[in-house]
Amino acid sequence: MTTARGEAARPTAPPAPSVEGLDDLLRSMADDEFVIGFSDSEWTGIAPLLEEDIAMSSLAQDELGHAQALYGLLAGVTGAVDADTLAYDREPTDYRHARLLDHGRGDWAMTIARRYLYETADAVRLRALTTGTWLPLAELVGKLVREERYHLMHVGLWLERLASTAGEPRDRLIAALESLGPDAGTVFTPLPGEPALVEAGILERPMAGLEIAWRAEVAPVFDRLALPAPPPTRDPARGRTDHGQAFDWLHGEFTSVRRSDPGATW
Amino acid sequence: MSEAGTQTAIAHARAGLQPPAPLPSVAAVEAALTEVPDPELPVLSVVDLGIVHRVDVDAAGIRVVILPTFVGCPALDVIRSSIADRLATFGLPVRVDTTFEVPWTSDRISPAGRRALASVGIAPPSEPDAVRCPFCTSASVAMDSAFGPTQCRSLYYCRACRQPFEALKAV
C-alpha cells in the first residue's frame, strides 16, 4: 500500500487513429467471451459429473466477468452507455463473435472440442496484446491470461481423456471436431480497423499472423492424439458476421430477462 | 500543526466556525481495513488477502483502490460496500475504486493470511503440483478439479489422510 500523490495521470484515452480498431477488437473479444460463457452456463445443473457442473459454471462465470470488463472498456472508447447495454441491447446481427461459437451447445464432446479450439486461439490472441501500448487493455489482458491458464489446463485434460477412450467418447469427439473445424479459424477473422492497432503497437501483429502461430501450436497436439486438425477456414471474410439460427435462439435466451423488465437493475 | 494549518484554525476561530475534524492518517484507515473480512473467505481481512492497493486521504475524503482477485469476482460489490461501511466512522466521503494497474496475484496474501486459510482447511496458494494437504501437510495429493465452490479455489484429495480439501488457485 502506498499513499502516492501527485503522480502523473495514467493515459486512458487511446490514440485517436486506433479508436475504430479498438471498437472492432474489443467488440469481437467481448462478444466471444460473452457467447461462450453464456453457452457453457447452460450446463449448470445438467453436466455429466458434479465436479464438471461446478467447473463449467465457474468457467462460464469467469468468461462473463471477462466480457463485462471488455464491454466496460468498449463503452469507454465508443461512448456507449454501459457494459449491460452492449451485452443485451443489440440485435443478433450486430454481434461480432466468431462463428466457431455458433453451433449450439451440443453434447459434452462438442462442448470440450469448442472450448479447446477457442481457448487455444484466445491464448494466442491475448499473448499478442499483453505488451500493447494502450495500458487499460494491456493491464486487463495481464489479468485475463492468469485465469485463462486454468481454463486451458482443464479443457486440455478433457480433450486427452475423450481422445484416448476408444468407442463413443473418441467417436463423438472426432465428430465434434469435424463439425467445428472449418469454423475454428474464425477467431482470427481480420478486423476492419486492425492496421491502425498494429501501427499504434496495441496489437502485436495482424490476425492472419496470429492464426498461423495458433495452427503451429495446436498441430502437435492433434497429431499426437491422432485427431483431425482444423482445416482452412470456411468463408473467412464472414467469420464474425454470419451467425445463423443457433445464435438467434441463444440471443433470445440471454436477452429474455432484460426484455421482460427493461431498465431493471440488480 | 503546520503554519498553514494554524492560520486556517485561526481563520475559522475568527469567523466563529468549528475547526474541521482532523483528517485520519492513512495508517488509521489501513488499520480499520484489517477489520473488513473478505465475504468469500471471512477468515481473511481484505488487507491479509492483499487486495488493498492504495489508500489516499485528503479533505475531499478517503479513497481506497482495490485489486479484484478475479476479473469477474461476484463479491466485489459486497467488498466495496463493506469497506465503505467500515470507513464511514471517519465521517468523510469514502470512494472505493478497482484497478488492474497491477494484477492481484496470490502471493499478495500475507503470512498471517496463509496461516488463517490453512486453519480452516484451505491450502494456501502454490503452483498446482506443489500443493500440500492443509490437515496433515502430506504432499501426496491429487487435484480433483481445477474449479471449486468459488472462482479462486480448486478441489483436491489427500491420499495420506483421505480428506478432500480446497486450495486457493495460484494466479
Shortest CA distance to A227 belongs to which of A123, A109, A122, A118? A109
Q: Which residue has the higher pLDDT, B12 or A25?
A: A25
**Residue of B33, B63, B145, B154 to mutate for A, most A C-beta atoms under 10 A:** B145
Name the amino acid, one letter, at A246: A
3-state secondary structure chain B: CCHHHHHHHHHHHHCCCCCCCCCCCHHHHHHHHCCCECCCCCCCECCCCCCEEEEEEECCEEEEEECCCCCCCCCHHHHHHHHHHHHHHHCCCEEEEECCCCCCCHHHCCHHHHHHHHHCCEECCCCHHHCCCCCCCCCCEEEEECCCCCCCEEEEEECCCCCEEEEECCC
Contact A100, B31 (CB under 8 A): no
Residues from chain B contacting residue A139 (CB–CB below 8 Å): 99-103
pTM of the model: 0.87
Q: Above 90 in pLDDT, residue B144?
A: no
> Strand B153-158 vs strand B141-145: parallel, antiparallel, or unpaired?
antiparallel
pLDDT for B18 equals: 61
Write out chain B residues lying below 8 Å of A147, CB-based. 70-71, 151, 171
Terminal Cα-to-Cα distance of chain B (whole angstroms): 45
Sign of CA dihedral B81, B82, B83, B88: positive
Test the B interface: residue of A139, A146, A154, A157 with most B CBs within 10 Å: A146
Among the residues of A164-190, which ranges form H helices? 168-184
- CA A117/CA A159 separation, integer angstroms: 10
Is there a contact between A58 and B148 if contact means CB atoms under 8 Å apart?
Answer: yes
Is residue B126 over pLDDT 50?
Answer: yes
Residues 88-107 of A with CB under 8 A from B: none
Residues lower than pLDDT 70 in chain A: 1-11, 266
Supply the pLDDT for residue A27.
97
Collect all residues of chain B within an 8 Å Cβ-Cβ radius of residue A69.
71-72, 100
Q: Are B167 and B55 within 8 A, CB to CB? A: no
CA distance B171 to chain A (A): 5
Question: Pick from B78, B31, B85: which is nearest to B55 by CA?
Answer: B31
Contacts of A152 in chain B (CB under 8 A): none
Q: Would you state the pLDDT for residue A240? A: 97
Whether B70 sits inside 8 A of A147 (CB atoms) is yes
Q: Chain A contacts of B155, Cβ < 8 Å?
A: 51, 54
The mean of the pLDDT values for chain B is: 88
Residue with cell 497429431: A223
Out of B56, B99, B147, name the one closest to residue A55 (CB). B147
Q: Which residue of B has its CA nearest to A266?
A: B77
Tell me: the pLDDT tens digits for B87-120? 999 999 999 999 999 989 988 999 999 999 999 9
Q: Give residue-wise pLDDT tens across range B17-41.
A: 666 668 999 999 999 999 999 999 9
